[in-house]
Structure 1
Amino acid sequence: MKLVCDAVAMSGLTITSKEATAVLEKCQPVFASLIPEEKRRNPSDLFSYLILRPLQHIHEYESFVQTMKSDGENYYSPFTLDKIRVAHAHWKQLSITAHKNLLEAEDTKNFWETCSLKMVEALSTPSRRMLRESRTHPINVHNAGRFSSHSFVLLTDILVHIQYSTFSTYNLNTMWVEAVSNVPNVQHGIYITLPEDTLTLTCPSSGDKNQWMYVLQEGIKRAVDKSEESGGTLTSLPRSAPLWVCGKLHGEGTMVWGDGRRYEGQFRQNVYHGSGRLEVPMGGGANVYEGTWKNGKLEGKGIIRYANKDVYIGNLKESQPHGHGELKKGRFSSQAASIYTGEWSSGVKHGYGVLDEIAKGEKYMGTWQNNVRHGPGMVVTMNGVYYEGNFHQNKLTGCGLMMFEDKTYFEGELGMGGTFAGKGSLHYPSGDTIEGTFTGNWEDGIKINGVLQKGISSPDEDNVPKSFGKFSVHADQKWTAVVRQCQEQLGLSAGTDITTTKLLLSLVDAFRATYGGVVAHSRLLPYAVQEVRSFTSRLYQLVGVLFPALPSESESVLLEPGEEDQEEIVVTPAFVIHPWLLPHVYSPLSTLYVLQHQHKDEEYWRRLLKWNKQPDTALMTFLGVDVKFWLPEGASLVESSRTLGTLKDQHFTEAIETLQMLSTSFSPRDKLNLIHSTFQLAVMAKLGSNYLWSMDDLFPVFQYVVVRSRIQHLGAEIQLVDDLLEPHMQHGELGIMFTTLRACYYQIQNEKLTHML
């Protein structure tokens, strides 16, 4: 029965009858005695009669059993009569079903014949039936425009909304229908809730409304029952696995649309809400949105993977980058490869940010406005060029500063791309200066119209201009979006500068993006130190809220030791934060110090290697180490070569290994403690803790340990400690030890090698 009705609905009998015409003509003599003449007028009618004849038999069988039941009281026993009644009930139900199915198939065939070819090709299937349409049973969109065109067709599994030559389909499996109470604005209304949309429909009368409500609900029931039997829904339509609450998606599940969109995650009241992942097809790929959704929009921390392989990781608002975030564009080897880390506003770069153009070998650090560089900023390049100034609509304009790898610098008017574009002065490390008009760029050549002034003072090795940093953004004004986001997450007032561990991780990522990578530049060291101090201040305010007993930043509290062997502790922001912060930023920070002290450390290292070629006795004698530090009591210098190895293993080896740990420690306090421990091992272990030492004794011993420790970048380590050391630690015993180490480094760097040789 189903196959016959499917063929009727698809006009299959008419099409097939054409193929069977020859066979039917040959059988006409047989059909003449069996089939009425009106059914044999043409091959199509004859073929339809033959195919539908079994369904007619069902009605005839039902009539025959009905006759048996009516007349059976006089001929059959009660038991047989009960069997006849049961059989009649089954045949009657089958007859009604066959008649209903055939009528639906006929109505569906007639409907497809009136539809456009586009709609028939898209929607017609053998098992799909037309249940109701608005041309014969009026229903329309509430408040539809006067010149609009809306019609609806209810099929067995979808509701079709036709507008002029276009149409939309809505799956009955995911539909919720409610009757709308009559109000002045809506009369005889029906409210339909769908995963993609909501519809308010109105009928001309309450009778039409009730009929549409009935067929809609029956259609939904039939579609749901059929879906449960088949174990799924059509893949071309939306499907979902979450729970339903009042016709709305609620809970965790998956939604797939016919246009390729796919959402996996949590729903609330029919919208994305909670953790989820959305794929939106784009030309040749798909945009993927991952994160926390709120009322259908990505909010807070999230990830966007674009179809062109770009990736954004950071804060979002209404599914657009907003706040602090990082955008990686292109691949490392491509010409467009770049990484932007900084502030966003409604999908565009806005505020302070760092753009690392990897392929170009440039890094910009400054302010942005509406996706372009605008305001104070600076640029460093792989060629060692550094320049800073004011940007306007992505162009460098006005006065600025440009510094070069050979310590030469230019102060004056700069143009796009860091070119010379007007009046200014060029300063050489030798002290010579050229003042005039400059055009061109440093790599390709400069055209100068000016005056050369010979320097009269001694050459400046660093040659740092006074205007250095004038056009940079202050450290406290950087990465403000990170702090603001954490404040919003914690529900704190905007005036309270407080954050969580997320702030530390975000600040560390920003620090690495700014000062790490292949474009690390020694000129950035002062800014890196300023940012470390700024980070220390901001993070300390968090700890201050968590522990109100801590002193304010401007105060220092001395904690007395509980035992004699414990040291005094001065509670300061650096004491609390440095052990937490510096391990994360130490790698890029130490790299900048190494670059800054590269020339001095190379000279120091060259001399150190020559000194280390000398035996211990010669080296100690040259350095002036008192014999009491390395000769046992009563031993003579003749025995020194025999006893020194044993003594060195006992005292100096451990002191040397301790000092070598200077490069693997992070905070200035830890480094000073290592220096102090080195002194304890080199001096006190041999002479006892009661020995009253003097600088004349201390310096040569320290110098020997420093030489044998072979710390390659000692100058960088000393400068790092000096920059970040707390003021109260610059005095006392630790301060003296640090000064001694600095003096050792200076002497090794400047001592004439001929004295050793």
Structure 2
Amino acid sequence: MGGRQGLRATAWAESVVGEVSRTLAMCNPEAALLRQEEIFSTTLTQNIINPILKPLLLADPEPSDPCGKECLRLLQQLHKNAEQLLDVTEQSLLSLRQRSCCQPSKGLEAILLLSNTNHVLQAHMEYIKSYTDCVVVQAFQKVSKKRRSHRKALWQLSPGISEGSEGTTLCKALHQPLVHHVQKYVFLLLSLRDTLDEKHPAQELMMRAVTLFGNLESFMKQALDQAVATQALWPSLNSRLRDVLCAPTHRLLQDSQDIPVVVTPLQAERVLLFDDALVLLQDHNVHTFDLKLVWVEPGQDKCVLHILTPEEKFSFVSSDPKGQVAWQQKVTQAVCQALCDKKDLPVLGSGQEPSMPPEYRSVAYTFHREGRLYQATYEGDWYQAKPHGKGTLKWPDGRNHVGDFCQGLEHGFGICLVPQASEDKFDCYKCHWWEGRMCEYGICEYGTDKVYKGYFQAGLRHGFGILDSAPQAPQTFRYTGHWERGQRNGYGIEEDRDRGERYIGMWQADQRHGPGVVVTQAGVCYQGTFQGDKMAGPGILLCEDDSLYEGTFTRELTLLGKGKVTFPNGFTLDGSFSSGTNKGLYTQGVLDMAALPPDPSSTRKRQLGLGAFPVESRWQGVYSPFRDFVRLGCPVELQEALLGFHVQSSRELHKSQEYLCGERSDPKDCMGSMEDILTELPQHREPEALQQYLRKALSNSRHPLGKLLHTLMLTFQATYSGVGANKHLQEMAQEEVKQHARELWAVYRGLLKVALQRQGQTLEEENMETRDLQVHGLLLPLILPSFYSELFTLYLLLHEREDGLYSRGITNLSLFPDTKLLEFLDVQEHLWPLKDLKLTSNQRYSLVRDKCFLSATECLQKIITTVHPREKLETLEKTYREIEATVKRVLGCEYKLPMDDLLPLLVYVVSRAQIQHLGAEIHLIRDMMDPIHTGGLHDFLLTALESCYEHIQKEDMRLHRLPGQWGTRELW
């Protein structure tokens, strides 16, 4: 009876205070706000913090059980938030006092409630959150059982409380003052706003504060309702489930006991929707699904709702459509709030939450089901409950994959690190992926320090690629060639740096198999058929001195059985060969010494690999990706997969996130994206514009033509540089350069065809003759510099003997003064440019050197500064014009030089120009020149130059006479 009287008295007192406050608010809202802050500050200190929270913290200061420790932690947090709320209230009270008493001139903007509303709201929200956390786990009830000293304080606040109701009384005492306080904030702020003029500067701040505190009131009501509903859930669960699910962060939103659903195919007994998780209870098992990774899809049946999660897909089946709609709304709203990290309306004014959760999300998740992703943590973009977009996968064993994903699989560019058994060793795969497997172009740096750069298919090396061993490996090698299903297969080049050997030929199942050539550092070459990595059957051997062996070999490349040796002097040895251990080579046969010495040209014809490896089939693995790219219409999404990428390759950065993110160059750099390339291409079809465009494209590795040329340069260097610089490979290299030009032209035509098709146009067909003219006249001059160094070296080696004879002849001719040499070469005396000879007082014509035909000589010397045959032929033509111009000046009239006059004059100019390796230059011009020049002036002048070269090298002129039609005059 006394308790009820006390409650009635308290209620009457509150109503009186409320009436007084309303009356005060009508008269002076600012004074009412000040009074309200004073009351709330006193309430926090005298009714909440000191009499309740502090004694509760002492109820069990050092609990030993986990439950007690959790309750103590929550009460400590609540006490901390109450102190913060008191501090904010005191700050607000101070701002109101300063305005009303000390500094009334200050505007309303100085009031904390208006100037920093968010700060005040945040303190209220944090308090109510920590309070509801305690309510959810029944912290007040559990602690109040252990300490009774606060009963007196509770009795003063609520007289007549019964035994066992302390927890409920605590809940009311700790939250009701806050609820009433926020309600009065809204009322008083509205009253204050009504006193202001519509154009008052504080009007906008006032409206915002009213809105936010109204939102806070709604937030508090929902938070309290959810906490009470969640607290009421626990008694309906057994102790095991309660221990798993009872957490202060959980808030119950929906229970299948209220709106029944059947879960298929999981057959869950009960469904619980919390604000952060969807929980299915099944046979004492708990299946928990993070709401941020839950997708909701209505089924075709109005009673069915599909739920998608990263590792499960199930459906809710309701008995009627209303149940399906209720669950769909509840789950959808919960997912939206979980993604926005909100419990209710946007209290701090950050905008309304979406009515539907986004299909694309960015969340971290660890996979728990057995399978490919077991225990892996994915952090990145999701779509329809599957990794989709950019993300990172990390396994506990150290594996990492960073890159693009599609429908749950690695798809697009990615970098994968796979740890090796040894410490700090990783295999690093930087490549493109297709449905979870490596494909297209990639770079792999292995823990063994091997590096592979090339193409993949279905996770295996497939197509063209380069595998390089570590520099410090016991056996260093490099393989450049074709792969099939992870093994060397097709045409390829392997260099064994330790043995100083290079194998050029066919492979099968990772072994040398089929026709092949072995080139050694000593200049010895083998050609034959290989099986199981060894040469078998007949073959040929070419030595550095041009000795030739044709016959059979052992698997270790030693001579065995019938064979024939042809020596450089023409002698032949035909018989049987054998070798013993440390006993050298034995032979029994016939030595023929009657044969004539071989023609040097026949020695040059001893070229390897021509019939064994048709030039059209050597590098199909390089050409094919570009052909396929063009055939598919140059899809933009395959541009990087074709052209490759630039990534950081420092091994020290393997573990850094910056490295994993892949510092790749943008495929749109330099010449733009593929769309830009195709748009620009048709604009450059005139010869001059096309040449400029092709030069620019070929020099850019981000353009299909530039990338193809760069790759072909790598194959050329792998074949013909270093050990491969062997004169017997010259013709093989020469035809390869021409084939590369044809393939590049085909790619250009394919790109142009695609570009025109996109503009609704067609590309006219090109006949063989037109194609050859374009290849030799337009493209070959542009690409030859890329191969020139290796190619010209082969020409130098092949024509070394002839150039040696030529050099001795040039040396001998250089001993002649000008007039003596002109006389010796039978140059008609009336053609001598004696006016060019400037004599001093002690000089004679017979002793002057290097003055006659000086302009022609200097012009011819420029032939070694050019690369392409066309440029060299143009230099030769200019030399011819300079000779004619000099003769014209001497004679004072036009004069067409006949061959009898031109040839000795040209020999004179060649001898004075002293061009090294002229034979190599001439043969390169002849082999690589444009067929259009055949039979023309350039062909005629090249023939004349060849004749001069041959005459100079035929005779040692210092000791003998110059042969031929130019006379038999003695040197002196």
**TM-score, normalised relative to structure 1:** 0.70
* CA–CA distance in structure 1, aligned partners of residues 565 and 924 of structure 2: 31
Which of 224, 233, 251 is the matching residue for 2:339? 224
CA positional deviation for 1:326: 2.3
* Count of residues in correspondence between the two structures: 674
The residue identity in structure 1 corresponding to 2:339 is: V
Answer whether contact 1:10 1:125 (CA < 8 A) is retained. no
CA positional deviation for 1:591: 0.9
1:399–1:640 distance in 2 versus 1, CA, 3 Å: farther
* CA–CA distance in structure 1, aligned partners of residues 419 and 547 of structure 2: 50
* CA–CA distance in structure 1, aligned partners of residues 287 and 218 of structure 2: 42
Answer whether contact 1:263 1:279 (CA < 8 A) is retained. yes
Which of 429, 449, 458 is the matching residue for 2:596? 458
* Aligned counterpart, 2:418: 281
CA positional deviation for 1:448: 2.8
* Aligned counterpart, 1:721: 925
* Aligned counterpart, 1:372: 511
1:403–1:300 distance in 2 versus 1, CA, 3 Å: same
The residue identity in structure 2 corresponding to 1:192 is: L
- 1:207-246 aligned at under 5 Å gives the runs 224-226=339-341, 238=377, 240-242=379-381, 245-246=383-384
- 1:472-511 aligned at under 5 Å gives the runs 472-491=612-631, 503-511=708-716
Kindly provide the CA deviation profile for residues 102-140 of structure 1, in whole angstroms up to 9, marking residues without a partner as x. 78999999659999xxxxxxxx999887999xxx99999
CA positional deviation for 1:279: 1.7
1:636–1:648 distance in 2 versus 1, CA, 3 Å: closer
Answer whether contact 2:607 2:731 (CA < 8 A) is retained. no
1:635–1:287 distance in 2 versus 1, CA, 3 Å: closer
Partner SS for 1:472: coil
Deviates more, 1:466-475 or 1:365-374: 466-475
* Aligned counterpart, 1:602: 804
CA positional deviation for 1:445: 6.5
The residue identity in structure 2 corresponding to 1:735 is: D
Kindly provide the CA deviation profile for residues 510-560 of structure 1, in whole angstroms up to 9, marking residues without a partner as x. 22322223432111112112223433444555677769779733579xxxx
The residue identity in structure 1 corresponding to 2:732 is: Y
Answer whether contact 1:373 1:393 (CA < 8 A) is retained. yes
Root mean square deviation of aligned Cα? 5.7
CA positional deviation for 1:380: 1.0
Kindly provide the CA deviation profile for residues 184-203 of structure 1, in whole angstroms up to 9, marking residues without a partner as x. xxx97854243xxx522367
CA positional deviation for 1:349: 2.2
* CA–CA distance in structure 1, aligned partners of residues 746 and 883 of structure 2: 41
2:448 maps to 1:308: yes
1:459–1:11 distance in 2 versus 1, CA, 3 Å: farther
Which of 482, 486, 496 is the matching residue for 1:357? 496
* CA–CA distance in structure 1, aligned partners of residues 561 and 837 of structure 2: 76
The residue identity in structure 2 corresponding to 1:519 is: G
1:619–1:91 distance in 2 versus 1, CA, 3 Å: closer
* CA–CA distance in structure 2, aligned partners of residues 138 and 446 of structure 1: 93
CA positional deviation for 1:632: 4.2
CA positional deviation for 1:381: 1.5
Which of 465, 472, 476 is the matching residue for 1:337? 476
* CA–CA distance in structure 2, aligned partners of residues 314 and 264 of structure 1: 20
* Aligned counterpart, 1:192: 308
Answer whether contact 1:437 1:450 (CA < 8 A) is retained. yes
2:954 maps to 1:750: yes
* Aligned counterpart, 1:176: 295
* Aligned counterpart, 2:576: 436
The residue identity in structure 2 corresponding to 1:199 is: E
* CA–CA distance in structure 2, aligned partners of residues 160 and 423 of structure 1: 85
Answer whether contact 2:404 2:414 (CA < 8 A) is retained. no
Answer whether contact 2:479 2:492 (CA < 8 A) is retained. yes
Answer whether contact 2:265 2:315 (CA < 8 A) is retained. yes
Which of 855, 858, 863 is the matching residue for 1:654? 855
* Aligned counterpart, 1:668: 869
Answer whether contact 1:421 1:440 (CA < 8 A) is retained. no
Answer whether contact 2:884 2:896 (CA < 8 A) is retained. no
- 1:346-745 aligned at under 5 Å gives the runs 346-430=485-569, 431-439=571-579, 446-460=584-598, 463=603, 469=609, 472-491=612-631, 503-539=708-744, 552-553=767-768, 571=773, 573-609=775-811, 611-612=813-814, 615-632=817-834, 641=843, 652-687=853-888, 690-726=894-930, 729-745=933-949
1:87–1:52 distance in 2 versus 1, CA, 3 Å: farther
Answer whether contact 1:171 1:238 (CA < 8 A) is retained. no
Answer whether contact 1:537 1:553 (CA < 8 A) is retained. no
CA positional deviation for 1:593: 0.6
Partner SS for 2:512: strand
* CA–CA distance in structure 2, aligned partners of residues 61 and 174 of structure 1: 37
Aligned-residue sequence identity (percent) comes to: 26
Kindly provide the CA deviation profile for residues 145-194 of structure 1, in whole angstroms up to 9, marking residues without a partner as x. xxxxxx9999997899999xxx99986544434465679xxx97854243
**Greater percentage in helix:** 2
Answer whether contact 1:327 1:340 (CA < 8 A) is retained. yes
* Aligned counterpart, 1:328: 467
**TM-score, normalised relative to structure 2:** 0.57
1:88–1:722 distance in 2 versus 1, CA, 3 Å: closer
CA positional deviation for 1:434: 4.2
Partner SS for 1:315: strand
CA positional deviation for 1:475: 1.0
CA positional deviation for 1:592: 0.6
* Aligned counterpart, 1:20: none
* Aligned counterpart, 1:201: 314
The residue identity in structure 2 corresponding to 1:721 is: I
* Aligned counterpart, 2:93: none
Answer whether contact 2:738 2:780 (CA < 8 A) is retained. no
* CA–CA distance in structure 1, aligned partners of residues 281 and 523 of structure 2: 66
CA positional deviation for 1:732: 4.2
Kindly provide the CA deviation profile for residues 27-66 of structure 1, in whole angstroms up to 9, marking residues without a partner as x. xxxxxxxxxxxxxxxxxx9898359999986631445699
* CA–CA distance in structure 2, aligned partners of residues 51 and 105 of structure 1: 25
Partner SS for 1:481: helix
1:712–1:178 distance in 2 versus 1, CA, 3 Å: same
2:169 maps to 1:60: yes
**Greater percentage in strand:** 1
1:238–1:152 distance in 2 versus 1, CA, 3 Å: farther
* CA–CA distance in structure 2, aligned partners of residues 680 and 721 of structure 1: 19
Partner SS for 2:575: strand
* CA–CA distance in structure 2, aligned partners of residues 382 and 445 of structure 1: 24
CA positional deviation for 1:299: 4.2
* Aligned counterpart, 1:118: none
1:90–1:125 distance in 2 versus 1, CA, 3 Å: closer
Answer whether contact 2:391 2:403 (CA < 8 A) is retained. yes
* CA–CA distance in structure 2, aligned partners of residues 10 and 140 of structure 1: 40
* CA–CA distance in structure 1, aligned partners of residues 306 and 63 of structure 2: 29
Partner SS for 1:754: coil
* CA–CA distance in structure 2, aligned partners of residues 66 and 636 of structure 1: 118
Kindly provide the CA deviation profile for residues 389-430 of structure 1, in whole angstroms up to 9, marking residues without a partner as x. 122232322211122222222222223343335433333323
1:662–1:270 distance in 2 versus 1, CA, 3 Å: same
The residue identity in structure 2 corresponding to 1:224 is: L
Partner SS for 2:518: strand
Kindly provide the CA deviation profile for residues 190-239 of structure 1, in whole angstroms up to 9, marking residues without a partner as x. 54243xxx52236798799999989976875565345999x997697745
Answer whether contact 2:578 2:585 (CA < 8 A) is retained. yes
Partner SS for 2:833: coil
* Aligned counterpart, 2:66: 12
CA positional deviation for 1:594: 0.9
Deviates more, 1:736-745 or 1:501-510: 501-510
1:451–1:653 distance in 2 versus 1, CA, 3 Å: same
* Aligned counterpart, 1:21: none
Partner SS for 2:544: coil
The residue identity in structure 2 corresponding to 1:690 is: E
CA positional deviation for 1:708: 2.7
* CA–CA distance in structure 1, aligned partners of residues 597 and 279 of structure 2: 86
